[in-house]
Amino acid sequence: MRLQDNFEYYARIHGDAFYARCGNRALTYADANEEANRLANLLISQGLEVGDRFAYLSKNSLEMSILYHAAGKAGAVPVPLNYRLAPAEWAYIINDAGAKLLFAHKDLAPAVDTVRADLKTVETCYAIDVTPPSGWKDYAAALATQDTANIPDRGVTADHALYQMYTSGTTGRPKGAILTHGNILANLEQMRNVISARMTLGDKILVAAPMYHAAGTMVSLHGLHSGAGVVIHEDFVPGNVVDALANDGITTTVLVPAMIQACLVMVPDVKDRDYSSLKAMVYGASPIAEETLRSAMETFECDFYQAFGMTETTSSVVYLNAEDHVRALKDKPELLLAAGRAIPGTHVRIVNENDEDVPVGEVGEIICKGPQIMQGYWNMEEATADALRDGWMHTGDAASMDEEGYVYIQDRIKDMIVSGGENVYPREVENALFEHPAVADAAVFGIPGEKFGEDVMATLVLKEGESLTEQEVIEFCRTKLGGYKIPRRVSFMDELPRNASGKVLKKDLREPYWEGHTRRVSG
């Protein structure tokens, strides 16, 4: 089975049903299938063979929701680009992928032109929803010349690549993870079996997470895979998200923790709205503070699910289901600190540096095996061999597992702080800091220390109107943490640096403190 098979099925049996809306433009399933056929034929007309790559640079859009289906029909492989990256970073990814075509949405084309001369493999550039700059072709005009009928089968199977998504590159150059039709469909089925408020015809999914990222891509495909409709927000704006959840009949959404916190903090009447249509909210991509999660559960009054995964695992390998969240609030609050248990069809282990299972409760690295695991990194045999060993994906995340199989993420292994011979996991310190009523956001990382090798450093964002001193923070932590875990330095910022996935860029926070020092931690 291929991704487009379900899409074409729904276009046949309920073609007039709502497919997706972004801004003022909406499509039915029949409309969307015709547009996907036009794009597939355009790709073929430009000489793309099965397996050839093309790059796509866009904010969230209807076009992005269609391109995966079109690519599947043509057998070409889209490479979605993070529009928040610098043009030089786009050029690196485009060249690494060997993309033959480039599609850019709205006002992004001029930025591409600053590195156009550096694009070694791109033959043609298309500008979408904007007058094309010199040297670009008009996407709408090119699409209009193509046939709307379903294209002949090109021999695409479940084992062919569906897309090539680049890692966020928080620890170095981004790597192109190759995900097949089979990988994507397996994870869509896994998530459909997990979420009790299963998506069906007539449901509406809100996509506010970026669609060039695994979470945004998979939630949009999850809805369309079930015949549901998708409401797409071009950008994340807290007030717009709250309005949609309250007024647009949204039944399911996926948000990263920073987005949930923004909705709760930045929208004054968020707790006074009616969210009765909302069945499920899925969160993931980075840790969430207990206070934020409790507030969200009280506000939105729907089922909550946590999904833990990474680009290389398509999306999810571990999940905390709705029943777990209810149980946590009732009598097992420590579950709110868990990422959950292995998703059906996936094996998860916690191992030491020799890939041996560690005892229950001890910290090691999460490794996983399942049908949703990537095929490898594009043109990076050594990195692939290091990540995929005996079929097990090595995540680089430090965690423990309890006797019931719940996985507790400690941190990225490379983020662990070694202070005076003791291991300090930043997330544990961050959770303690989030208990302070004045703290809105927190990041903990290691800096050079003369006495202990590394000292614990905390950078905080305070809630509006609140104030704290470094000493007050340290004294508060003394009531929550062992001595070696207490921050020795505290700084304050208006906003923490994050990538588009919502992950704090601790590398950027660490950098000034490590200048001139031999670094133990490079990521």
pLDDT tens-place string over residues 402-452: 999 999 987 677 787 878 767 788 888 998 899 999 999 999 999 988 777
Domains by residue range for the chain, with CATH:
3-329 (3.40.50.12780), 417-514 (3.30.300.30)
* Secondary structure class of 340 (helix, strand, coil): strand
Minimal CA–CA distance to 395: which of 380, 409, 375?
Answer: 409
Please report the pLDDT score of residue 121 as a whole number: 97
Mutual angle of helices 214-225 and 62-74, in 10-degree steps: 80
HSE, CB side, 13 Å, CA atoms: give it for residue 135. 11
CB 398 within 8 A of CB 339: no
Tokens of 61: 């859009």
Conformation bin of residue 106: beta by default, left when phi > 0, alpha when psi is -120 to 50: left
**Residues 93, 86: Cα–Cα separation, whole Å:** 11
String of DSSP letters for 408-465: EEEEEGGG-EEETTEEE-HHHHHHHHHTSTTEEEEEEEEEEETTTEEEEEEEEEEPTT
Report the greatest alpha carbon distance in the chain: 71
Tokens of 341: 């248990």
Please report the pLDDT score of residue 172 as a whole number: 60
Burial readout 284-313 (b: 16 or more C-beta within 10 A, e: otherwise): bbbbbbbbbbebbbebbebbbbbbbbbbbb
* Secondary structure class of 27 (helix, strand, coil): strand
CB within 8 Å of 183: residues ≥ 6 apart? 162, 314, 371, 372, 373, 374, 375
Please report the pLDDT score of residue 523 as a whole number: 33
CB within 8 Å of 168: residues ≥ 6 apart? 82, 174, 311, 499, 500, 501, 503
Please report the pLDDT score of residue 517 as a whole number: 65
Please report the pLDDT score of residue 522 as a whole number: 31
At 70, the amino acid letter reads A
Residue carrying structure tokens 């487009």: 4
Pairing of strands 376-377, 176-180: antiparallel
The low-confidence residues of the chain, meaning pLDDT below 70, are 168-172, 196-198, 285-288, 411, 421, 500-501, 517-523
Burial readout 388-401 (b: 16 or more C-beta within 10 A, e: otherwise): beeebbbbbbbbbb
Please report the pLDDT score of residue 519 as a whole number: 40
What digits encode the pLDDT tens for the residues 94-109?
999 999 999 999 889 9
* DSSP class of 48: P
What digits encode the pLDDT tens for the residues 221-242?
988 888 899 999 999 999 999 9
**Residues 419, 395: Cα–Cα separation, whole Å:** 24
User: Which H or E run contains 126?
Assistant: strand 124-128
